[in-house]
Copies of this chain bind each other. A is one copy, B any other.
Amino acid sequence: MARTLEFDYDTTLERATRLFWKSGYAGTSLRDLLKEMGIGESSFYNTMKSKKRAYLECLKHYNETVARKRAKVFLEAPTAALGVRALFNNMLESLDNPDTPAVICMMAGSLTHEVLDEAELREYIEGRMTTLRDTMIARMNADKRDGLLTAGFEPQFVVPIVSTYMQGLWRMALVSYERSSFERQIDVFLTGLGL
């Protein structure tokens, strides 16, 4: 019926994701993005419609890969407490891995005015964060019923604390990161919370 796409959508999306991840939304210009994706303006606007929508697609792609793996790491641990610790270990591995595009999680990097001011982006991000928190809370409540967590343990407060602390850690890593120091403070933090 018509001409076929000359580029592979998944490949270009993957490349775009890594660039957005590394440089942020406003920090990535359309020219840089196109260069990285290896396509022209026409192809880009034909498939993506706008930079904002492209970022949204990249965020989704990020969640279907990186974030999904993190959720898996958490859920497959024998207990919620170990799951949370596995999550932080996964974070430290990302920080140590030179192949990781950025020193910050793409979701954490999206917690800025430039991104949050775009209604569609904000909505998606809020949704993902809520989902992740709900998953963790549910898991902890299950553990609590099984007696794996003390009766005084309150998942609905602990989980926001954990995710807030993690957001802070991603930011702090931007300033300076040293594994042993991070490891130690994470351990003190989690132990204090009863995890």
Contacts and interface: CB of A to CB of B under 8 A. Distances in A.
A63 interface: no
Interface residues of A, number: 39
A158 B185 CA distance: 7
A160 interface: yes
Interface string A154-188: 10011011011111110110111000010011001
Interface in A77-116: 108, 111-114, 116
B164 A126 contact: no
A126 B177 CA distance: 12
Interface stretch (A3-11, A22-30, A134-142): A22-30
Contacts of A166: 168
The SS class assigned to the A binding surface is helix
A194 interface: yes
A167 B104 CA distance: 14
Nearest to A104: B113
Copies of this chain in the oligomer: 2
Contacts of A158: 188
Contacts of A172: 111, 160, 163-164, 167
A120 B164 CA distance: 29
A23 B175 contact: no
A193 interface: yes
12 contacts: A23-B113, A24-B113, A111-B175, A113-B174, A122-B175, A125-B175, A157-B185, A160-B172, A164-B171, A166-B168, A167-B171, A168-B169
